[in-house]
Structure 1
Amino acid sequence: MKKFRNTVSTVTESPAAPVAVVQDVFVDEAAPTRTSSNKELEADKKECREIAQLIWSSAPETPISTVAQEIAADTHVVGKPCAWLNGRKSASTVQKWIKNLCPAPRTGRPRKNQ
């Protein structure tokens, strides 16, 4: 993708009033590449998912929110603590990563008793 970048050069015809000339120059913009932080984020996500699978293999009735809070706070008993290559994650982020792994998801609003 090519973009224009404006360059300004001043040309002085008289010492009292400088005149500015604007020239358009082509600037080649490279496609965005994956940074190391994206790779680290994916590694954190993979590690969280592995720990969640270990927790649910031993206790499948544990709710998603509890597992996410345990992983985020490193208080889970099963497996090793997360390395967190890209900084600590909140429980809500971990919950988004592991929600489709839950063996017994309870989604939606509970029914009213009549």
Structure 2
Amino acid sequence: MSATVSTAALVKTRSVALGSLWQIPLGEGRVFTIGERSFAVFRARDGGVHATDPFCPHRQGPLADGLVGAGTVTCPFHGFRFDLRTGCAIGHDCPPIGTYRVSVDAYGDIHLHLE
């Protein structure tokens, strides 16, 4: 499942509300598209919310469809694991994925921040 968000909010503030945290089940990810850019947003089993590039750099596997653990995501194509905080590959020689700051407000809405 993916969601498309208007670019107007991102251009003005460099942050944008993506939607409710509850649309991402615990231990899963979803893709959000802002203009021409896509981001994978995860609700990790440890309660953390993380945003990364949407594809594995190894073979372009869709990371939002991967297995989400406590602070990690495993690519569904080849099993490469990445740290959701740093983007670094765990146990494989693979380039890191981009990570992006997210926050959840008092209403449960996820905000993506691009500095």
TM-score above 0.5: no
TM range (shorter): under 0.3
**TM-score, reference length from structure 1:** 0.25
Question: Larger Cα Rg: Structure 1 or Structure 2?
Answer: 1
Identify, as 1 or 2, the structure richer in helix. 1
